[in-house]
Amino acid sequence: MRPGPLTDAPRSLSPGTAYLVLENIRELSLSLERLVKVLSQAERERVARYRFEDDRLRSQVAWGLLRILLGRIRGEDPRDIEFVRNEFQKPLLRTGPSFSMAHSGDWVLLGVAQDGRFGIDVEAPRILPNLFDLARVAFSMDEISELRSYPEADRLRAFFRGWTRKEAFAKAIGGGLSVPLKQFTVTLAPEVDEALRWVAIPSEENIPWRVRPLPEMPGALSALSWDQALEDVQWVDPGSLEST
């Protein structure tokens, strides 16, 4: 089950619009052979270093779909796309568009936008016996207080709502592990249009950041963050990339 309605993969991007692709690695819309075929040699070698098959599969699907999607948008052969990395090893394109990827459990999520700093995250909720230990490392005091306010039965899902929103924001900033996770706060509440409450990172305080929770599914929670005005979210049918 994916969010909908689905649209065909774009060949150009509209300002203010985020384009998202959600794929289940157990129910691929494109053949794995097709996805692996477009990977660079460095990506193939990186995949081969993963110990577990599911980790290899998630990486193959994510990078294969990303190359095919970006190739369609840029009018290039997906195999010819060259990525660069910033000082924190975040992959980028020299001339755009902006993009982000995430994967967890059976899910791979890709996002593209015309420009700006852009990040997404997806998480498949799983039992965390040390939930509050993790929260004390990554959550602000406001977020920990909100987490404690939930009944125990709802606390795990609330934690992952917060985690995906914070991770999307951190990925959009592009600072990797250097992003001070306790210096910004998101709400853990479901069904909100804007999750970001406050930012105390000096370089980011005056930026019009958005953190948008995406529709919740039984097996996945996700969010996106962007430093541009977010007017629309388009869910792209991964099957529409078949003809690219």
Six-digit token string for 217:
């599914």
Domain membership flag for residue 1: no
Domain membership flag for residue 51: yes
Report how many domains make up the chain: 1
Q: What is the CATH number of the domain that holds 80?
A: 3.90.470.20
- The structure tokens 């987490």 sit at 147
Domain membership flag for residue 244: no
**In angstroms, how far is the first alpha carbon of the chain from the final one?**
24
Domain membership flag for residue 241: no
Counting as low any pLDDT under 50, the low residues of the chain are none
In the prediction, which pLDDT does 3 show? 79
- Stated pTM of the model: 0.95
In the prediction, which pLDDT does 148 show? 97
77: containing domain: 12-236
In the prediction, which pLDDT does 88 show? 87
Domain membership flag for residue 2: no
Instruction: Tell me the per-residue pLDDT of 20-49, one tens digit each, with 9 for 90 and over.
Output: 999 999 999 999 999 999 999 999 999 999
